[in-house]
Amino acid sequence: MVRVKRLVDTFIRLVETASVSGRESAIRDLLQQWFQQRGLTLVEDEAGQILGGDSGNLLLQIPGTMEGPTLLFAAHMDTVEPGIGVKAVVDEDGFIRSKGNTILGSDDKAAIAVLLEVFDILKEKELSHPPLEFLFTVSEEQGLKGAKAFDFRQLKSKIAYVLDAGDKPGAIIIQSPCQNEMEYTALGRAAHAGINPEDGLNAIQLVANALAAMPCGRIDDETTCNFGGIEGGTARNIVAEFCRVKGEARSLRREKLDLLSTELKDIFIAEVEKRGGKAEVAVRFLYPEISLDENEEVVQLAARAARNIGLKPHLLSTGGGSDASIINGQGILCANLGVGMRAVHTCNEHISIEDLVNDARWVLAIIEEAARIGE
């Protein structure tokens, strides 16, 4: 049923259309044209204006051919860098890769290609299906910003699937963490580094001492934290007056996230202040945790569909966030599905044609299983 060459050609066309976060207009135009050729119009929201990008989120609402619960499928249009000038190649083992100096962009254009293929199959085969909604978001890679800016009141769906997990088709993500973004700032005193360094207070050193006392990495099997960026000072011959560190904390449990964030904040402030500096810590909640019961219909529907096409469903927990986190937070039960993309966010990113085909078969099977419920 899946036309493999068409699916691969669509995927390659998508990944070779640059759409790094904040600059998704080219992929937006491609999708709008694609659906216009099929007599449908994608509705673009104002997320681009809100976020300072050149494209908004895109929503497609497809009338059902039968009664049944509306299903939402979501994918993000943006990629990380280096994502400009992608050239995709198919190797002898059936994997699609970039030529090696850019990412591939299977995260998340594999999902977009799959949804386009599924749409064509539904129409060509005149398959019965309930009402469907496709949501293509922007700036997912920058902290799920596009999904956060989307007005979910437009949706009719109560069950949703995001196609954005690196595991192979059959994987159903039922747990993912909540996350805090944290920014630590230490303020010292500037002075000439050679003439009167004793009059200064080095903020970089203040931060170094504080970080040495703070937990970092895996805290337990549900909780992690990290320091991912640092900046400070103005010149090599000036005692640094300020230093700033960007970090994060994640946990599958909100109470653990809150406790860890408080601990990190308290240690940083105490370590900086006891050495005479001033400390500031900003904490921003990014997205909520997902904790789906395995008996929820959104999980069981995907599991039954996987078995129907010979895939083995397996329920997983992940340490990463996705648009599913935001969708769940809006009261729509949403599972993130394994797509099979590998080595994402690197120039070695790749995906097998077999997984791409199974992704399309699985989405079709989910729709078909939902149609049985509606009969």
Q: 29 — phi, psi (to 5°)?
A: -60, -40
Q: Where do runs of H (alpha helix) occur along the chain?
A: 4-15, 25-36, 47-51, 106-124, 145-149, 203-213, 254-273, 297-308, 323-329, 353-374
Contact 255, 178 (CB under 8 A): no
Instruction: Name residues whose C-beta falls within 8 Å of residue 329's C-beta, 6 or more positions apart in sequence.
Output: 287, 288
Q: 125 — phi, psi (to 5°)?
A: -90, -5
Contact 62, 119 (CB under 8 A): yes
Please check if 220 is assigned to a binding site: no
Helix, strand, coil share (%) of the chain residues, nearest 5? 35, 30, 35
Contact 65, 128 (CB under 8 A): yes
Q: Is the dihedral of CA 183, 184, 187, 190 positive or negative?
A: negative
Q: For the purposes of burial, counting CB atoms within 10 Å of the CB of 95, is it exposed (0-12), middle (13-18) or buried (19 or more)?
A: middle
Contact 249, 214 (CB under 8 A): no
217-220 sheet: strands from edge to edge:
217-220, 223-232, 242-251, 178-187, 278-287
Please check if 323 is assigned to a binding site: no
Strand partners, 127: none
Contact 234, 241 (CB under 8 A): yes
Which residues carry out catalysis?
Answer: 140
Contact 137, 108 (CB under 8 A): no
- Residue carrying the six token digits 């993130």: 336
Please check if 231 is assigned to a binding site: no
* Residues in the annotated binding site: 107, 141, 164
* Residues in the annotated binding site for Zn(2+): 107, 141, 164
